[in-house]
Amino acid sequence: MEEKKFDPWQFVGFFLIALILTWMLYNQAPVEEATLENVNQTESAARNVPEQSNTVVVNDSLQSNQRQASYGSFTNLFQFTTTKKVDFENEKLAIKFNPKGAQISSLLLKEFNNYKQEPLYLIKDNQNFNYSFTTSDGRFLNTGDFYFTPKVTEESGNQIITFTAEVSSAQYIVFEYKIKANDYMIYFSIRSEGMRRLINTREEQRITWDLKAFRNSRSIEYENRFHLLTYSFEDDKIDYLSGASEDEEEEIDVHWVSYKQHFFNSILIPSKAFETVNFTSESLVDSDIIDQEFTKIYKTVIPIVSEGEIDHNFKWYFGPTEYDTLAQYEIGLENSIDFGWGIFGWINKYVFTPTFNFLSGFLPYGIAIIVLTVLVRLVMSPVTYKSYVSQIKMKVLKPEVDVLAEKYKDDSVKRQQETMALYSKAGANPMSGCLPALIQLPVFYALFSFFPVAFALREKSFLWADDLSSYDSIYELGFNIPFYGDHISLFPILASIAIFFYTMMTAGQQSAPQQPGMPNMKVIMYLMPLMMLFFFNNYASGLSLYYFVSNVLTIVLMLVIKNFIVDDAKILMQLEENKKKPKKKGGFSARLQKAMEQAEQQKKAKGKR
């Protein structure tokens, strides 16, 4: 066994370690004392500040040396000034501004509630707005990290809230908000003074605006379809990101950016169009059974090219997505409302919106929907009449068509030729029954787009429906049925029943025989009421009310036409008279018959080979 000996170097090592530990303990005690003293002073100066703000102050005190090293001449921007938020209220808005970042931390729409009858916030710690830039010594800074000093003044009855972040007394960044007494619009500017040499203008600056959209309606899945990031660009063109999934886009010459939350909106409007903007939208909604707080995450990144001081002016709209309210600003914000594309949007904007606003001005909203439906059906009644007469013609000719089908059952081309010849002689056109339906299609689709975005229907009740802009549940199931929901809405059931009876009436008028290999159209038509039942269970009850009333009125009109206006026997007599008259060759029927004859000849020629 090796004998242990005294090692002098080991002794020296232990001695040096002991000296280092003694020095560290000696120098640490005053630092702890100073830190506690700073904390006590901070707590004394901000006794009413929330706990979270106190934590920020402690961290600022503990990290002051590190910040001095990290931010250099910009250190003052990160020095805590105050945690006291600035409050503002007018007739429309209640706002809280946070001195850190000079941001809106809370924005309440005073005139509205959400589906739980709670105060409706567009912003409540769910928004982040940053101006980012690179300093001349290579640091990348965000204004969201700066501490600003607030100042409130008044000018011509308007409140002005000015936030200043100082590098020095002659070098600073200012965020300024100007708010009128009775307005949803906030006038907002970002500017700097004396910062030209401190900011690297060769590097790109940028504005970043993030927002998580709150849920405000009972049917989150339905509401989420109308939560859209919309923007105006170039010559007042309008586009939007997908509402169903994650989507991103880059656009140039952008005039405004809208974070739409169905019936409410947050819109950023620059005084000068943004040259380039990057948009991102992400849906957070999976199913109605999840009681989620948020529906979408919106993000906009705006690269800025600047050759000098920061100087940008904006307008910021926070309010309802209501046509008249948005239109009063005369900068095209009303175009953020999705009335539908092309002619459908035109009909909604210039026909249905003013008509419904007029009717709802003196009638209950449910009655206004019924009256609007009656007016639409009356205007479309000539089209309904032509469609029904065409169906009757097909019906009275059906026996002769059946004879031709049996006679030429082995020759489909000849059967079609003889059938078309019969229609031509009798003066009947099978396509004339389809044309009225095509004419009605723009009106049908326009109203389909109108009711979901009609702000006037929000929280307006009718019969058992508490809110015509949401579903009219009469029974909560307690479980979820895929594609249907966890409740039973009554208006979609009534509308489906009306569609079923209308389908039965129209199906009886069909004369065309079932073609081999083709789907049974009658089965498809009977499936439509069932599809309606599932599709509209979570939709706005105002839309289901319209379809119910519209189909009932259509049934009534058809019964009136059938029993008091149109006589089947007279139509048959007229068709027989038409057969006796010489028919001029030409037109679509003649060209179609000629094409069929040529096809038959080619078929025979191939058979002889």
Of 309, 338, 367, which residue sits at a domain end? 338
Distance CA 187, CA 128 (A): 18
| pLDDT of 56 higher than 50 | no
Q: Is residue 605 part of a domain?
A: no
Distance CA 557, CA 33 (A): 90
Query: Helix 64-71 vs helix 51-62: angle between axes, to the nearest 10 degrees?
Result: 70
| pLDDT of 347 higher than 70 | yes
Of 338, 363, 388, which residue sits at a domain end? 338
Q: What does the DSSP 8-state code read for residue 549?
A: H
Q: Is residue 228 part of a domain?
A: yes
What integer pLDDT is reported at residue 529 of this predicted model? Answer: 81
Instruction: Say if residue 216 is in the same domain as residue 362.
Output: no
Instruction: Say if residue 363 is in the same domain as residue 310.
Output: no
CA 579 to chain centre: 57
Instruction: Say if residue 294 is in the same domain as residue 378.
Output: no
The sign of the torsion formed by the CA atoms of 337, 340, 341, 345 equals: negative
Q: Is residue 430 part of a domain?
A: yes
- CB contact at 8 A, 156 and 233: no
- CB contact at 8 A, 394 and 433: yes
Query: Helix 412-426 vs helix 568-580: angle between axes, to the nearest 10 degrees?
Result: 100
User: Nearest-CA neighbor of 67 among 141, 164, 171?
Assistant: 141
Model pTM score = 0.76
Q: Is residue 364 part of a domain?
A: yes
Instruction: Say if residue 274 is in the same domain as residue 354.
Output: no
More confident residue, 24 or 339: 339
Instruction: Say if residue 213 is in the same domain as residue 354.
Output: no
Distance CA 99, CA 163 (A): 7
| Average pLDDT over the chain, rounded to an integer | 78
Question: The tokens of 311 are what?
Answer: 């100087």
Q: Which residues contact 51 (CB under 8 A, 6 or more apart)?
A: none
Of 316, 338, 360, which residue sits at a domain end? 338
User: Nearest-CA neighbor of 126 among 107, 112, 113, 145?
Assistant: 107
Return the HEC string of 264-297.
Answer: EEEEEEECCCEEEEEEEEEECCCCCCCCCCEEEE
The continuous run of DSSP H or E covering 211 comes out as strand 205-214
Q: Is residue 294 part of a domain?
A: yes
Instruction: Say if residue 293 is in the same domain as residue 379.
Output: no
Distance CA 533, CA 440 (A): 22
CA atoms within 13 A on the CB side of 410: 0
Q: Is residue 398 part of a domain?
A: yes
What integer pLDDT is reported at residue 46 of this predicted model? Answer: 34
pLDDT in tens, 458-512: 889 999 998 898 888 888 887 878 878 888 899 999 999 988 888 777 765 554 4
Instruction: Say if residue 330 is in the same domain as residue 354.
Output: no
pLDDT in tens, 120-168: 999 999 999 999 998 888 888 899 988 999 999 988 778 899 999 988 8
Distance CA 57, CA 61 (A): 6
Total number of domains constituting the chain: 2
- CB contact at 8 A, 183 and 222: no
Q: Is residue 148 part of a domain?
A: yes
Instruction: Say if residue 309 is in the same domain as residue 434.
Output: no
CA 80 to chain centre: 39
> How far are the Cα atoms of 71, 78, 135 from residue 200, in angstroms, in the given order?
15, 19, 5
Distance CA 33, CA 26 (A): 12
Strand pairing partners for 199?
A: 135
Return the HEC string of 58-113.
Answer: HHHHHCHHHHHHHHHHHHHHHCCCCCCCEEEECCCEEEEEECECCEEEEEEEEEEE
pLDDT in tens, 352-379: 999 999 999 899 999 999 999 999 888 8
Range of the domain at 104: 85-338
Q: Is residue 526 part of a domain?
A: no
Report the length, in residues, of the chain.
Answer: 609
Instruction: Say if residue 326 is in the same domain as residue 425.
Output: no
Instruction: Say if residue 197 is in the same domain as residue 232.
Output: yes
Amino acid at residue number 409: K
Q: At 171, which CATH number?
A: 2.70.98.90
User: Nearest-CA neighbor of 158 among 182, 177, 179?
Assistant: 179
| pLDDT of 68 higher than 70 | no
Instruction: Say if residue 574 is in the same domain as residue 450.
Output: yes
Instruction: Say if residue 391 is in the same domain as residue 454.
Output: yes
